[in-house]
Each structure stands twice: as C-alpha cells, then as structure tokens.
Amino acid sequence: MAQAQKKVFGIVLAGGEGKRLMPLTTDRAKPAVPFAGQYRLIDFALANLMNSGLNQIVVLTQYKSHSLDRHISQTWRMPAILGAYVSSVPAQQRRGKHWFSGSADAIFQSLNLIHDEKPDIVVVVGADHVYRMDFAQMVQQHIDSGLGATVAAIRQPIEMSTAFGVIDTDPNNPGRIREFLEKPEQVEGLPDSPKEILASMGNYVFDADKLIEYVTRDAENEDSKHDMGGDIIPAFVANGDAGVYDFIHNDVPGSTPRDRDYWRDVGTIDSFYEAHMDLIATLPVFNLYNEQWPIMSQQLNSPPAKFVRDGRGTTGTMIDSIISLGSVISGSHIERSVLGPWTRVMSGAIVVDSITFDRVQVEPGAIVRRAILDKNVVVREGASVGENPDLDRARGYTVTESGLTVVPKNAVVER
C-alpha cells in the first residue's frame, strides 16, 4: 500500500480561544474543556489520530494552555523507545515577538518540528470536535489524488454556513474543490440538496513540502489573517491543488449505523450540551462503548461510582445518565445528566438535564435543572439552579437563549 511507504506526521491545532464557550473557557483552552465526565475535548482528535496509526503528533497550544499541557503530558505519554510521542508545543515566539496570529501562523512558527521529522504527509486537525474518524482512509485518498491538499468535509444545514468553510466542488471532477469560502454570509445550497452545504471539518491532509511552501508564502503576506481556513486552503484551491474527502465514506471499525457519520462542532454552550445529550440516549447517537476505536483519556486513579440510600433509608433513582468515577450519589434523583468525576449528590437532591464537571457538590434537597456546573461548584442545601433564568442572570451566571444556565468554576450557589 502506498501509504505504508509514506511518513505521516500529525499536527493538532489547539490554540483557539473558544469565546463562544465562555464561561467554560474563562481559564482553560477550549480543547481542554471537559467532556462526557472523564474526557477533554482534545481526546477525540488525539484518539482518532492514534487509532489511525499516526504516532508522532504535536499539539500547538497558545491560549490559557496550562490545563491542556498538563492533560497532554499526563494522559498522552508515549513510550519514547518506539519513537512515538504526543507533545504539546506552546507558542515560542521563534519568528519574532508575537504570539500565533492565526492557525497558519501557528504552523509557520512550528515549521522546525516538520523539518526535524521530514514527513511526506502532514495531517492537520482541529481540537474541538466530537467524532470518530479514520485518517488513514483520508490519507490514502489524498495520495491517490496527487493533489497538494485534501480537506475533510461533511454536509451541514445551510443556515450554519457562517460557522464553516463552505466547499464547492467541480461538477466534472467532484473530488476537486473549485471554490472555498470561509464562513460566508450568503451561499447556495448543494445541487442535490438545496438546504445543505458541504462544510469543511477543519481537518486537512497536505503534502509536507507544499504545506511548508504555502505557510511560508502566507507569512510574508501582510494582508493575510494567517488562517488555515481563511487563507491557506483558498490559496491551494486557487492553484487547482485542493481535493475534498467526503466524511460519508469514512468507515471506522465498530461504528454503528447511528453514529457512523457523527461529527459535532461543540463550539457553543448549546451544541456542547446537545452533544452530551447524544451520549445518554438509550440507543446513543454517539456510542462511547466502541472498543474497536477507543477514545482514550486520563485513567483516573479513583474509586468506582457508588449509589446508596441516604441516612434515612430513602433510595435514589437514576436513569439515562452517565456517572463518572469517584462519585457518590445518595438518596437523590438523577435523570438525563452527565456527572463528572468525584461528584457528590446528597439526600433528596434532584439533578435533571444537566452536566457537571469534576468535584461538583449538590447538597441535600438542592435542585439542578438544565444547567452546566463547572469544576468545584457547590449547590447549597435547598438551593436551586436552572429553574429561574432571571434569578440565575441576577446571580451573574450565563443563561443561553435556549435557557441553559452555566455556573462558573468554584461558584457557590446559595439558597
């Protein structure tokens, strides 16, 4: 197989701010935001790359990267003896006294890493999506096409065009991109489905020499925003050198008909919440229990989750939920919720349609509904959150348009 002779190197772009996920990104980078209890968002990108056979991967970080760096060094440590690594590389101001001004600049400033490894192919992926993808299949198509760049794509509703790079393919050669518009306001739908567009997933495969050439040229262009989607991909397209890889053809071992094409950008509070709800449906829309394509993460050195009666002998109920290690739930009602590690829910408390991060404590009789509780939040005895949007706003919490309340890290919700 051609691919076996090629050396493939992975770059994960993890420097984005994640403004639309505030306050969850107040003091952590978006790729470090916890997901589904024990994971961090970046685990999906890294697990996909590793499961695809890539084992030399750098993560380019910048914004509030401390917890991200710690997670990568603790969780993704590789046996160096095999030459494998996942290393996080902070912006180092190697090319002058400025941080990365965009994702292409992040790669430009890190070209020494590519020069060190001398790969044939570079796979560049974002760090903030929930999905399974076998990049080996995309790399194979890239090699077969002979093009310099390949962009992974998925159909999305047309009203989301402002969030994505929108791809127009050549009708005479559907594998080739004819036009690439980054986050356009106005766009036409697909010929066979006018309410949909073909969106870039923000995952790319490049010939290494071409990537070096394009980002180097881009760095000299003062009019450029130095963005992969806004500048580099359009430049490849202008030269007729970009192809599209349709995600629909990606076949990951162990995936189910329901979650085969699952891909979610969890860039907003609402989409982040919905992706959690996808996990807990009886027939999950996204199945975490696929052992053939595991999403690896931190191995918490924690005791199992435990469910007990409360001190008065009242039993609790728990349904359609995920409860992480270290948690103790006593005499309380949990429904359609995802609880992070070391959560405590006490006697008579109710947690419904909610997400908690690590070490949240819900005291006796408290009520949590349609809320996201960040790390270390305490909901005091008898207090409620998520039941009254005006009260939650007055307390200084974020309430989304759809009525989700987000309680920031370390907050104490008083009665």
| Nearest distance from C-beta of residue 183 to ligand ADQ, angstroms | 7
**Bridge partner list, 39:** 35
Residue 24 Cα distances to 16, 58, 272, 301, 304, angstroms = 13, 24, 11, 25, 26
Q: Which of 8, 14, 46, 47 binds ligand ADQ (CB under 6 A)?
A: 14
**Residue among 190, 265, 254 nearest 30 (CA):** 265
Structure tokens at 321: 């939920």
Give dist(CA 311, CA 156) in Å, integer. Answer: 51
Residue span 43-72 as binding mask against ligand ADQ, x where in contact by CB under 6 A, dash where not: -----------------x-x----------
Q: Which residues pair with 152 in a beta bridge?
A: 245
Buried b (16+ CB within 10 A) or exposed e, 185-223: eeeeeeeeeeebbbbbbbbbbbbbebbbebbeebbeeee
Q: At what angle do helices 42-51 and 66-75 cross, to 10 degrees?
A: 30
409 annotated as belonging to a binding site for a ligand:
no
Residue 97, both tokens: 């006294």
Annotated ligand binding at 183? The verdict is yes
- Dist. CA 118–CA 207, nearest whole Å: 11
**Part in contact with ligand ADQ (CB under 6 A); list of ranges 82-90, 225-233, 345-353, 383-391:** 225-233
The mark string for 78-107 relative to ligand ADQ (x by CB under 6 A, - otherwise) is ----------------------x-xx--x-
- Told to check if 164 binds ligand ADQ by CB under 6 A, we report yes
CA distance 111 to 43: 24
Burial of residue 183, with CB atoms counted within 10 A of its CB: 0-12 exposed, 13-18 middle, 19 or more buried: middle
Q: Is 200 annotated as a binding residue?
A: yes
C-beta of 16 vs 386, nearer to ligand ADQ: 16
Site string for ligand ADQ, 229-268 (x = CB under 6 A): x-----------------------------------x---
Distance CA 44, CA 130 (A): 6
d(CA 258, CA 243): 27
Among residues 48, 56, 169, 200, the one that binds ligand ADQ under rule CB under 6 A:
200
Q: Least distance in Å: CB of 415 to ligand ADQ?
A: 39
Contact call for residues 15 and 106 (beta carbons, < 8 A): yes
Min dist. Cβ of residue 148 to ligand ADQ (A): 17
The nearer residue to ligand ADQ, 71 or 344, going by C-beta atoms, is: 71
Q: Which of 127, 143, 215, 269 binds ligand ADQ (CB under 6 A)?
A: 127
| Residue placing its CB nearer to ligand ADQ in the complex, 164 or 342 | 164
Site string for ligand ADQ, 378-407 (x = CB under 6 A): ------------------------------
To the nearest whole angstrom, how small is the minimum distance from the Cβ of residue 95 to ligand ADQ?
13
Please tell me whether 363 is known to bind a ligand.
no
Task: Give min distance, CB of 167 to ligand ADQ, in A.
Answer: 9
Please select the residue that binds ligand ADQ; options are 43, 207, 227, 374, rule is CB under 6 A: 227
Q: What does the block give as tokens for 61?
A: 């970080």
> Residue numbers of the site for ligand ADQ (CB under 6 A)?
13-16, 30-31, 60, 62, 100, 102-103, 106, 126-128, 164-165, 182, 199-202, 227-229, 265
- Binding-site entries for alpha-D-glucose 1-phosphate: 165, 182-183, 200
